[in-house]
Chain A
C-alpha cells in the first residue's frame, strides 16, 4: 500500500500569511494526487486534483505543486474561512490512501 505522510500535523498562522503543507508518498505516484479541505462538521471538499489543477470554484489563493513523491499545497494569503483540516490523497493505485491531515488554525 502507498503511505501518504503529511506535515505539519497542525499550523497556526495569521490572516494574510502564506501557509504551506507538504505531502510525501512512500513511492512515486506521478501526478495522481488530490487535496481536500474539511471544515468543522462538514464533508470534505475537493480543492486540487491531478497534483496541480484547481477545482472549479476554489479561490485562486489555493495552489499546489509537485509530482512523483513530493507535493505541496499553498494558501497564499490565509483567510478566516480557511480554518479547516487539509488532506492529501493518492489516486495512483488501490487501496486509495489519505494523508493524516493538517489542521490549519487562525492566530
Chain B
C-alpha cells in the first residue's frame, strides 16, 4: 500500500515562531488532507488539498502532486496550535484514506 511519511515527528516552538511540516507519499493520490488533532482527540479539518496552494488565516498548505509531497505552513504560532498534525492521502484507484504518523507540535508561551 501507499506509504505516508511526515516530518518532523516532533516540533517545539516558541509562540510567534513559524514552522513548516512536510508530508511525503509514495504513490499518486486523488485526495490529500491535513488535520489538527487537539488535546481532546478531535480531528479538525485544516485543508483538503490534492494539489495547489490554499491559505486559511495563519495556515497555508501546498501540495505538489507530481513530486509527491505536501507542506503545511504555520505562521506566528500560538499555544492553541499545539497538538498533532496529520496528513492523510487517498491513493489513486482507492477511496480509503491512509494516515501518516503525524507531527506533534508544542508551542510554548
B is bound to A: no
The chain A residues found within 8 Å of chain B, CB to CB, are none
